[in-house]
């Protein structure tokens, strides 16, 4: 996999088969913080003492690492449970070469046999097609990071059916964040039970999407 430097100085990979980078080329770390960790307000949730995150398309773990950093900054004692869904288990090898500035990336790198656990943090990775693996575990998540390759390249990942399966695992008033604002994506989110609004525009003019589960 080709490693590239993005606009904020952080590195990501390019998936040459799909023809897309794993993160915005304007800034990989910036995207994880500004499009996922901040707009889902996990720092506020951390004050409750427990946050559960569903990280769909875990990739190289930047979104989760940014989230753990934000949560621990707000409440160092917060319990954090992350379930990451990912297709490609070879990514794990590639992560070893990465040293992003997220303090919590050390936890991501310590994932062994698909698990990491310390006193407060648990991370579980489930490998396979997320549209299938989503049906195979229980959970009630506060937040979902939804980060597949683009709707143009992988429209099947942005379907109403998949969003419904995700919604079934999110608490009422829980929040899903995604970088896309494509109309069909938003329509499918609404049909799956979410209210949608614009999220931050980072690295491009178009906004991202913040979807709140309303029923």
Ligand X SMILES: C[S@@+](CC[C@H](N)C(=O)[O-])C[C@H]1O[C@@H](n2cnc3c(N)ncnc32)[C@H](O)[C@@H]1O
Secondary structure of residue 169 in the 3-state scheme: coil
Cα 56 to the center of its chain, rounded Å: 5
Which residue lies nearest ligand X, judged by its C-beta? 59
Tell the smallest beta-carbon distance from residue 77 to ligand X (Å). 25
Using CB under 6 A as the binding rule, whether residue 6 contacts ligand X is answered as: no
Q: Residue 69: CB partners within 8 Å, gap ≥ 6?
A: 37, 102, 103, 104
Q: Which of 130, 177, 185, 211 binds ligand X (CB under 6 A)?
A: 130
For ligand X, the closer of residues 57 and 143 by Cβ is: 57
40 binding ligand X? (CB under 6 A): no
Work out how close the CB of 56 gets to ligand X at its nearest, in angstroms, rounded to a whole number: 7
Which region, judged by CB under 6 A, interacts with ligand X, from 39-47, 141-149, 168-176, 189-197?
141-149
Q: How far apart are alpha carbons 194 and 173 in whole angstroms?
A: 9
Q: Is 61 in the site for ligand X (CB under 6 A)?
A: yes
Instruction: For residue 97, count other CB atoms closer than 10 A to its CB.
Output: 11
- The CA radius of gyration of the chain, in Å to the nearest whole number, is 16
Work out whether 63 is an interface residue with ligand X (CB under 6 A).
yes
- 22 lies in the site for ligand X, by CB under 6 A: yes
Residue 109: burial class (beta carbons within 10 Å; 0-12, 13-18, 19+): middle
Nearer to ligand X, 58 or 194 (CB): 58
Q: And the tokens for 91?
A: 């990514």
Q: Is 152 within 8 Å of 20 (Cβ atoms)?
A: no
Of the candidate spans 82-90, 113-121, 183-191, 200-208, the one that interacts with ligand X by CB under 6 A turns out to be 82-90
Does 162 sit near ligand X (CB under 6 A)? Answer: no
Binding site for ligand X (CB under 6 A): 22, 32, 57-63, 85-88, 91, 129-131, 147-149
């Amino acid at each position: 996999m080709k490693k590239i430097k993005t606009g904020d100085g952080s590195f990501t990979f390019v998936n040459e088969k799909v023809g897309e980078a794993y993160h915005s080329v304007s800034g990989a770390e910036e995207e994880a913080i500004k499009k996922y960790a901040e707009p889902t307000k996990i720092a506020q949730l951390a004050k409750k003492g427990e946050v559960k995150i569903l990280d769909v398309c875990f990739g190289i773990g930047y979104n989760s690492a940014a989230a753990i950093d934000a949560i621990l900054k707000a409440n160092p004692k917060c319990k954090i449970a992350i379930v990451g869904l990912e297709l490609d288990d070879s990514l794990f090898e590639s992560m070893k070469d990465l040293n992003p500035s997220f303090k919590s990336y050390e936890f991501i790198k310590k994932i062994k046999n698909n698990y990491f656990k310390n006193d407060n943090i648990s991370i579980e990775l489930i490998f396979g097609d997320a549209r299938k693996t989503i049906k195979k575990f229980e959970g009630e998540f506060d937040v979902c990071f939804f980060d597949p390759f683009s709707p143009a390249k992988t429209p099947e990942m942005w379907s109403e059916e998949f969003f419904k399966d995700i919604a079934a695992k999110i608490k009422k008033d829980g929040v899903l964040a995604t970088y896309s604002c494509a109309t069909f994506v938003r329509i499918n989110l609404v049909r799956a039970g979410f209210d949608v609004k614009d999220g931050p525009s980072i690295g491009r003019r178009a906004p991202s999407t913040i979807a709140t589960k309303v029923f």
